[in-house]
């Protein structure tokens, strides 16, 4: 879709940020425990960092990895990279070495930002890769409270690489040259687990990011003066867009609290008078489970949203009964630059009588939806079919992967792999999934990746990984394994085997050793059978 379709005078997120800084330079932009930075301070810091990155040779279109938790430096780094036209490569800090290396080898970033504690392991993992520089940072910067609940250590390290805050200090007052970006320039490269093949990098352009930041923010009712709590991790598209970008393009305060902790989050709601946030339903479950949680924690809230994973209607009801706030559902994908379907504030999502599925909402204004049958023909209103999405938020394709781009986004329409019903009023209900993906608290797990790791164990003959319903996380990873003739191994040993090789959320909750995996007559493993 053309950029001029965007109902905004801006072409990029950074244009919108600059207008905000001009209009409200002295208003608070970032809060982190006991510290608040104004828009001007954040702008100056990101200018200084951008100038330093330019000196290092980072140029328009270069990828730079961000391997950080939710700390103010994340937003400052976004702004700095975008100011020089560089692309933020989102890296989950839970990744183990091989997962990080696989993405770095594909995306080929020129540098990486990481936490001070991760420098040694990261440097080791990335030896011989395209990464020329590492900039480390401490979660203890930009605050003085040193809360042990969310900091790995309360003392600073001196890593043997450049320190982000020191770079900002040294370059204070400098401004980078304007690369004159347009909407097609990439803002983010965000990896998503695929049904086949290795993870794919979705090409999230500035036009995509701006469309999401403006339209989703409007849908959620965000206005100048709102306080947005970055509760979802910024390394996932939901956090990057629906927490950070929506706040940066408006005169909103963006609140960080490092890695998620329920008690710390409850305090942050009160301390910063949070008005909006979006997180996975697991985050709301964790908050509800906290013994001190009370309605008073949410007194300043205008709207709560949850996205990324199915929400049981009973969870929403129980949360509202206890805390007086309805959780609004939102749906999106990495390939739609986050939420494109959402429940308007003040509205209660209907529940589909047949499937019991809580509606994910109504499409945002510029989003077009349709459902299609296996032959690709549109299904009638109320009849289930694969959900297809088009609109200014949908990416043009995947990083250096034309085959995947052609098969997933034919003619600019994104095939989601989700089966949906759209009713007469336009409410969308997800009723099934065509893709072989497991959804653990909103984190997507590709069964093949877990299977590949288990196949490396000498006792394993065959393995199939499936998702099983789980009250807390939505789904849990379960592996079924058949052993080589004569081999013996404890199930726990196989779980341990994955520990060193996979991020925590991908590790099987259980490994079940069985005699033989169920197969079709043509020898294909019957996952559906195992799931049952
Ligand atoms: P990701 O690319 O990690 O954002 O994952 C996108 C996938 O998450 C979608 O294709 C859906 O399967 C799932 N998803 C996203 N939002 C929701 C939601 N509100 N309810 C159910 N599933 C969701």
Separation of alpha carbons 73 and 291, rounded Å:
32
Which of 434, 389, 428 is closest to 412 using CA atoms? Answer: 389
pLDDT for res 197: 67
Residues 6+ apart with CB under 8 A from 129: 101, 104, 105, 108
Is 90 exceeded by the pLDDT of residue 324? Answer: yes
Ligand 1 pocket residue status of 307, Cβ below 6 Å: yes
- Identify the bridge partners of residue 163 per DSSP, sorted by sequence position: 136
Please, what is the average pLDDT of the chain? 95
CATH 3.30.70.20 fits 13-418, yes or no: no
Ligand 1 in reach of 328 Cβ (< 6 A): no
Q: Say if ligand 1 is within 6 A of residue 237 CB.
A: yes
CA 89, CA 126: separation in Å to the nearest integer? 15
Q: Which atom number of ligand 1 is nearest to the Cα of residue 311?
A: 20
Q: For residues 376 and 268, what is the distance between their CA atoms, to the nearest angstrom?
A: 47
Using the predicted structure, report yes or no on whether residue 430 has a pLDDT greater than 60: yes
> For residue 178, how many other CB atoms are within 10 A of its CB?
11
Centroid of ligand 1 to alpha carbon of 238 (angstroms)? 10
Give CATH 3.30.300.30 domain extents, the chain.
438-531
CA atoms within 13 A on the CB side of 407: 8
Average pLDDT estimate for 257-265: 97
Asked whether the CA dihedral 316, 321, 322, 323 is positive or negative, the reply is: positive
pLDDT for 195 equals 61
Backbone angles phi, psi at 259, to 5 degrees: -70, 155
Which atom of ligand 1 lies closest to the CA of 335? 2
Residues 6+ apart with CB under 8 A from 104: 65, 91, 112, 126, 129, 130, 131
- Model's pTM, two decimal places? 0.94
Tell me the C-alpha distance between 86 and 107, whole Å: 13
Residue among 306, 308, 327, 439 to mutate when testing ligand 1 (max atoms within 8 A of CB): 308
* Ligand 1 atom at minimal distance to the Cα of residue 339: 16
Find the 283 Cα to ligand 1 centroid distance in Å.
15
Residue range 449-491, pLDDT digits in tens: 999 999 999 999 999 999 999 988 899 999 999 999 999 999 9
Q: What percent of the chain has pLDDT over 90?
A: 91
Q: Which atom of ligand 1 is nearest to the CA of 416?
A: 10
**Which of 331, 340, 436 to mutate for ligand 1's pocket (most ligand atoms within 8 Å of CB)?**
331
pLDDT surpassing 90 at residue 2: no
Site to substitute for ligand 1 among 330, 332, 469, most atoms within 8 A of C-beta: 332
The mean per-residue pLDDT over the stretch 226-249 comes to 98
Residues of the chain with CATH 3.40.50.12780: 13-418
Contacts (Cβ under 8 Å, ≥6 apart) of 389: 336, 340, 367, 368, 369, 413, 414, 416
pLDDT in tens, 52-93: 999 999 999 999 999 999 999 999 999 999 999 999 999 999
Q: Is the pLDDT of residue 311 over 70?
A: yes
Q: How far is the CA of 34 from the centre of ligand 1 (A)?
A: 34
* Residue 11 near ligand 1, beta carbon < 6 Å: no
Q: Taking the CA atoms of the chain, what radius of gyration do you get in angstroms?
A: 23
Residue 483 in contact with ligand 1 by CB distance below 6 A: no
Q: What are phi and psi of 8, to 5 degrees?
A: -155, 150
CATH number corresponding to 438-531:
3.30.300.30
Q: Which of 334, 322, 225, 220 is nearest to 278 (CA)?
A: 220
295 C-alpha to center of ligand 1: Å?
A: 28
Q: What is the mean pLDDT of residues 6-10?
A: 75
**Ligand 1 centroid from CA 442, angstroms:** 7
Q: Is 339 in the pocket of ligand 1 (CB under 6 A)?
A: no
Q: Decide: 306 in ligand 1 pocket, CB within 6 A.
A: no
Interior/surface letters 445-468, b for 16+ CB within 10 angstroms, e for the rest:
bbbbbbbebbeebebbebbbbbbe
Q: What kind and span of H or E run contains 403?
A: helix 402-408
Mean pLDDT of 212-228: 98
Alpha carbon of 400 to ligand 1 centroid (Å): 24
Confidence bin at 4 (pLDDT 50/70/90): very low
Closest to 323 in 3D by CA, of 238, 241, 272, 265 = 265
């Amino acid at each position: 879709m053309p950029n001029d379709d965007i109902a905004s005078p801006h072409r990029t997120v950074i244009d919108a940020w600059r207008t905000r800084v001009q209009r409200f330079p002295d208003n608070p932009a970032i809060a982190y425990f006991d510290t608040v930075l104004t828009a001007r301070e954040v702008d100056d810091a990101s200018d200084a960092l951008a100038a330093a990155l330019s000196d290092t040779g980072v140029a328009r279109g270069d990828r730079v990895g961000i391997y950080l938790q939710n700390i103010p430096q994340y937003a400052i780094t976004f702004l700095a990279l975008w100011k020089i036209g560089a692309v933020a490569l989102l890296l989950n800090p839970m990744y183990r070495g091989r997962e990080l290396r696989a993405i770095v080898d594909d995306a080929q970033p020129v540098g990486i930002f990481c936490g001070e504690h991760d420098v040694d392991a990261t440097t080791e993992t990335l030896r011989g890769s395209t990464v020329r520089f590492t900039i480390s940072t401490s979660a203890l910067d930009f605050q003085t409270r040193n809360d042990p609940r969310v900091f790995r250590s309360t003392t600073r390290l001196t890593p043997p690489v450049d320190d982000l805050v020191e770079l900002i200090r040294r370059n204070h007052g400098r401004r980078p040259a304007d690369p004159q970006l347009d909407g097609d320039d990439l803002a983010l490269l965000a990896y998503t687990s695929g049904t086949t093949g290795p993870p794919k990098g979705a090409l999230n352009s500035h036009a995509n990011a701006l469309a999401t930041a403006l339209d989703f923010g409007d849908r959620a009712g965000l206005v100048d003066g709102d306080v947005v709590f970055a509760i979802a991790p910024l390394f996932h598209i939901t956090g990057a867009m629906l927490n950070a970008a929506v706040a940066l393009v408006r005169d909103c305060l963006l609140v960080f609290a490092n890695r998620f902790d329920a008690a710390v989050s409850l305090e942050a709601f009160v301390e910063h008078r949070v008005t909006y946030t979006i997180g996975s339903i697991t985050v709301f479950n964790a908050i509800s489970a906290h013994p001190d949680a009370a309605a008073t924690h949410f007194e300043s809230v205008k709207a709560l949203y949850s996205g990324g994973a199915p929400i049981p209607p009973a969870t929403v009801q129980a949360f509202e009964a206890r805390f007086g706030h309805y959780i609004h559902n939102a749906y999106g994908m990495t390939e739609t630059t986050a939420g494109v379907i959402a429940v308007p504030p003040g509205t209660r999502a209907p529940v589909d009588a047949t499937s019991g599925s809580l509606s994910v909402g109504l499409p945002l204004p510029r989003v077009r939806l349709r459902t299609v049958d296996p032959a690709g023909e549109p299904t009638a209103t109320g009849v289930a079919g694969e959900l297809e999405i088009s609109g200014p938020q949908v990416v043009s394709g995947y990083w250096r992967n034309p085959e995947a781009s052609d098969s997933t986004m034919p003619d600019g329409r994104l095939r989601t792999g989700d089966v949906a019903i759209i009713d007469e009023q336009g409410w969308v209900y997800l009723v099934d999934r065509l893709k072989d993906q497991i959804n653990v608290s909103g984190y997507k797990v590709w069964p093949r990746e877990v299977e590949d790791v288990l196949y490396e164990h000498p006792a394993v003959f065959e393995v199939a990984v499936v998702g099983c319903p789980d009250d807390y996380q939505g789904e849990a990873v379960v592996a079924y394994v058949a052993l080589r003739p004569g081999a013996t191994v404890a199930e726990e040993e196989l779980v341990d085997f994955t520990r060193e090789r996979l991020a925590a959320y991908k590790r099987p909750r259980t490994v079940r050793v069985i005699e033989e995996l169920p197969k079709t007559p043509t020898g294909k493993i019957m996952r559906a059978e195992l799931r049952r």
